[in-house]
Amino acid sequence: MSGQAKIEPRDRLIVALDLPSVADAERLTWRLGDAVTFYKIGYQLGYAGGLDFARELVASGKKVFLDLKLHDIGNTVGKGVESIVKLGASFLTVHAYPQTMQAALDARRGSPLKVLAVTILTSYNDADVAAAGYQGHVADQVKRKSAQARDLGIDGIVCSAEESAMLRPLIGPNFLLVTPGIRPAGAASGDQKRIMTPQAAIAAGSDYLVVGRPVTEAAEPKAVAEAIVADITAAAK
């Protein structure tokens, strides 16, 4: 462990339901059963009935991370966040722009919803950031935007495990680092360029691990999820 919050190992695993339909999501969550307590719903399932499914997951006792990466004028973000609070989500992503973050924080006040910021998308390198009109290296931008998000009162960020290792000592223990790009030893990397095993990511300072295809495409998804939880447990000791 590297100075992060105290969370049960099983609750640190967030399975990304990157699936085309609610029927597929129902099948997978049924197969995973008690092995998984936390699910992420993003664009693909969200725009295919996934928000109603999110309500069902919450009603059945699961936690839901809505990875909607909101960014709009403050009024629109705030109204959207009010609806998301009513839905019962535990985590929500917004882009790390000050107005957007502040509007989300104002709208969730008094609720258990945690707001996570997306600093620089992990598919962006220095050239992509320059092409988008911003100056400076990705790592510097990530550090600056993370500190800005923390100072505004944002609960954490989505970042690679490499970024967790860089940020954890700078940002303190109470800022959540939520990390995709996780691959159990021997799993296919897919299109992820910077991958780490669950154990290494926890050791690097990540609080929550987001895992999609290694679980969703597995022949035995429950066994893979249990193996990831075991790996997290080993790192958390």
Give the nearest distance from C-beta 207 to ligand C5P in angstroms.
15
Give the nearest distance from C-beta 63 to ligand C5P in angstroms.
16
Report yes or no: 202 and 236 within 8 Å, Cβ to Cβ.
Answer: yes
Instruction: Say which DSSP state 178 is in.
Output: E
- Based on CB atoms, which residue is closest to ligand C5P, 213 or 222? 213
> Which residue is closest to ligand C5P by CB?
212
Give the nearest distance from C-beta 33 to ligand C5P in angstroms.
20
Structure tokens at 174: 């109470």
**CA 210 to each of CA 106, 111, 134, 170, 220: distance values in angstroms, whole numbers, following the listed order:** 26, 23, 28, 22, 18
- Based on CB atoms, which residue is closest to ligand C5P, 156 or 180? 180
- Based on CB atoms, which residue is closest to ligand C5P, 68 or 104? 68
- Nearest Cα to Cα of residue 13 among 168, 173, 184: 184
Tell the residue number behind the tokens 């669950």, with chain if given. Answer: 198
Structure tokens at 82: 């009010």
Q: How far apart are CA 200 and CA 179, in angstroms?
A: 11
Give, to the nearest 10 degrees, the angle between helix 138-152 and helix 98-108. 30
Q: How far apart are CA 130 and CA 108, in angstroms?
A: 33
Binding site for ligand C5P (CB under 6 A): 16, 18, 42, 121-122, 158, 180-181, 190, 192, 210-213
Catalytic pick from 6, 63, 69, 114? 69
Give the nearest distance from C-beta 214 to ligand C5P in angstroms.
6
Q: How far apart are CA 101 and CA 104, in angstroms?
A: 5
**CA 98 to each of CA 95, 148, 233: distance values in angstroms, whole numbers, following the listed order:** 9, 8, 36
- Based on CB atoms, which residue is closest to ligand C5P, 78 or 215? 215
- Based on CB atoms, which residue is closest to ligand C5P, 16 or 113? 16
Q: How far apart are CA 12 and CA 123, in angstroms?
A: 23
Give the nearest distance from C-beta 53 to ligand C5P in angstroms.
15
Give yes or no: 69 in active site.
yes
Give the residue numbers marked as catalytic.
69
